[in-house]
Each structure stands twice: as C-alpha cells, then as structure tokens.
C-alpha cells in the first residue's frame, strides 16, 4: 500500500506538470483527490492493516494528498499568470501615442459681443444694470412717455401675459427703475444689457427674441455733444478708428431730440456698395436727449437735470462686425457656425 501511494504521487505530479490549461488541472484534481479517486480507495482499505501500520499509512496518504494539492495550486497560479500576461499583450495601450483631444467649448458670439461692449462702457465710467424680463406695462411704456393708447406703442408688437404684465420689448424699463431708485436726486450713468421680446415674424433680420443694450446718462448740464462723443468712442472701439459717424434726425417717444446713428461702411469706405445700399453709411443704433416727461415721471427736475439715452442690438453689431447675413444663426445652435467665433 505504501508503494501504491508513492506511485500515485508520481503519476499525479507528472500529469500536473504536463497540464497546459486550468481545465486540465481541474481534471487532475478530481481524478486523484476526488471522493472516487485512487487515494480515497487506498484509505478505504486501511481496515485490513494492522494497528501499527494504520497510522503510518494514514500519515503517508495525507502527505501524498497534500503534495499533489500543492503542486496543482502552484501550476494553476502559473497558468493564470501566463494567461494574464497574454491578455495584457493583446489589450496593451501604447502610452506614447497622443491622446484623443477633448473638445473644448467657448463663449457664444453674442456673449462675447455683449461683454466687449460692457467692458468698453465700464471703461467710460458706466455701471451695468439688469432688470426683470417680465415687466409691468407702467415701466415698459408709461414711465417712458408712452401712455395707454399712444400710437407709438404700435411700433412694438408685444407679448402680453395680462393687461398689466408683458414680456419687455426693450431694456428701457431698467433705466426707468434705476432713475426711480435715485429719487431724482443723484446722477445716473448706466447701461442695461438683456433679452427682449417682440411679436415679430422670424426672418433674416428679425427675431421674436433678441438682445439689446441701452445706455443712460442723467446729470446736470448734459449736452448733445456729450452723447456724440460717447457714441463716437463706441464706434471707434468696436469698428475701428477709421470709422466715421453721422447723426440723423429721428423720432423716439422717450427722447427729444432723437437721432439715428450711422457709421461709414467698412466695405467701401463710404463710397457706396451693395452692403450699404449705395449710401456709404450703415445704421447702427438709435439715441437722443432724454425727454423732459421721462425725467419728471422719475422724480427729476427737468429744468435742472438733462441726459441722453441710446439703444443698440448686439446681434446687429455682431452681424456688421463679422459679416453675418442672418440673425437666426445666433439661435439655431449650429455648432459649425458658433465654433467659428469662440475666439472672436
């Protein structure tokens, strides 16, 4: 029986060494160490042995079983390491290759234009003010010299929520609110950027939602020449020092006198072309001296205080500055268009 156990040990160790897969090792384990294996059969025959032989053969059988088990475990660990190494070779990553670039976004062109205009006017001492987009009829119209029934209201088709609440048609209500907060006793020097809403049919030059920046300066002895100086500085900084400006008479209910400001066409240098429709000039914004009624409704003594106001559309500024021909490009979220201006 001792010789049989030693023989089984040698057979099992040899099969373990020859095994090339984990499954083959599992078969060796079951064959020699399983309940129906030859070592178990030897142990079942120990009843025929003398009392002196039983502990010796029992100890030898356990040693043989342990040696076979250790050999199987070591070979299994070796096979697993080799399999992992092969897998790593097949799935290896070449860290010397350049990584995949991460797409980085940028500010929307309108955001860039608005921030550029804000920086320009901050440099001239203006504050930035904001106000609600859902506005009252009073601040949107009445406080700006547009009483109920005034025909000039027809110039601004409006989204009404109730009879007294609406989506603001311009950012001018922020000016009225700011003047009201000053109680007619302090100067005002501000611009107010933001979104506005009008019931327009969307086309290449119109949108039901767009952005606007309006400016206001109220103080003693404010003159039309002050307005012209500010607008000229704006035109030169935004469009180039070579640009000329001109002011044409116009009408706005909240300013008197009122003007439209044009800049010389950069395409033709003022000589006339298809862009400026042969005039040599391009309309850019509206402005004027604050109407005395607007000052009085906000608590200012119109005989002591005067001021000027102006309003512009960042979309139009961007379209002129970058040669964009359709306002809808700003709102259709086409990344191919928007990504061209991340560094504008």
**Spatial distance between the Cα atoms of 327 and 30, rounded to a whole number of angstroms:** 79
**Spatial distance between the Cα atoms of 35 and 39, rounded to a whole number of angstroms:** 9
Name the 3-class secondary structure at 197.
strand
Q: How many helices (H) and strands (E) does the chain have?
A: 11, 9
Beta bridge partners of 213: 193, 312
Helix (H) or strand (E) holding 293: helix 292-297
Residue with tokens 């897998």: 87
What value, to the nearest 5°, has the Cα angle with vertex 221 and ends 304 and 255?
80
**Spatial distance between the Cα atoms of 344 and 334, rounded to a whole number of angstroms:** 17
135 CB-near residues (< 8 Å, 6+ apart): 165, 166, 167, 168, 173
CA–centroid distance for 111 within its chain? 11
11 carries a ligand binding annotation: no
**Spatial distance between the Cα atoms of 302 and 205, rounded to a whole number of angstroms:** 37
Query: 308, 302, 174, 282: which is closest to 229 by C-alpha?
Result: 308
**Spatial distance between the Cα atoms of 20 and 80, rounded to a whole number of angstroms:** 11
Residue 193 near residue 301, CB atoms below 8 Å: no
> How far, CA to CA in Å, does 15 sit from each of 3, 11, 69?
19, 6, 12
Annotated binding site: 256
Binding residues for Mg(2+): 256
């Amino acid at each position: 029986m001792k010789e049989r156990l030693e023989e089984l040990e040698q057979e099992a160790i040899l099969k373990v060494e020859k095994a090339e897969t984990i499954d083959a090792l599992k078969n060796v384990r079951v064959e020699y160490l399983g309940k129906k294996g030859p070592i178990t059969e030897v142990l079942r025959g120990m009843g025929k042995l003398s009392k002196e032989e039983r502990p010796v053969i029992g100890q030898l059988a356990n040693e043989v079983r342990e040696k076979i088990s250790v050999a199987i475990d070591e070979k299994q660990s070796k096979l697993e390491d080799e399999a992992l190494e092969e897998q790593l070779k097949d799935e290896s990553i070449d860290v010397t290759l350049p990584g995949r670039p991460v797409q980085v976004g940028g500010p929307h062109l309108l955001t860039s234009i608005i921030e550029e205009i804000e920086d320009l006017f901050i440099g001239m001492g203006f504050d930035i003010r904001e106000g609600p987009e859902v506005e009252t009829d009073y601040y949107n119209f009445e406080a700006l010299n547009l009483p109920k029934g005034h025909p000039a209201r027809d110039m601004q088709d409006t989204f009404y929520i109730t009879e007294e609440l609406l989506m603001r048609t311009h950012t001018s209500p922020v000016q009225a609110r700011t003047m009201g907060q000053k109680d007619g006793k302090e100067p005002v020097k501000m611009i107010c950027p933001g979104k506005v809403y009008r019931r327009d049919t969307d086309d290449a030059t119109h949108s039901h939602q767009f952005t606007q920046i309006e400016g206001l300066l109220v103080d003693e002895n404010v003159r039309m020449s002050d307005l012209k100086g500010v607008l000229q500085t704006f035109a030169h900084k935004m469009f180039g020092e070579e640009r000329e400006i001109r002011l044409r008479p116009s009408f706005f209910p909240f300013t008197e006198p009122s003007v439209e400001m044009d800049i010389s066409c950069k395409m033709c240098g003022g000589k006339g072309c298809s862009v400026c429709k042969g005039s040599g000039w391009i309309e850019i914004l509206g402005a004027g001296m604050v109407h005395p009624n607007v000052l009085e409704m906000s608590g200012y003594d119109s005989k002591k205080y005067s001021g000027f106001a102006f309003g512009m559309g960042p979309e139009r500024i961007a379209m002129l500055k970058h040669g964009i021909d359709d306002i809808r490009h700003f709102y259709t979220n086409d990344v191919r268009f928007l990504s061209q201006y991340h560094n504008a």
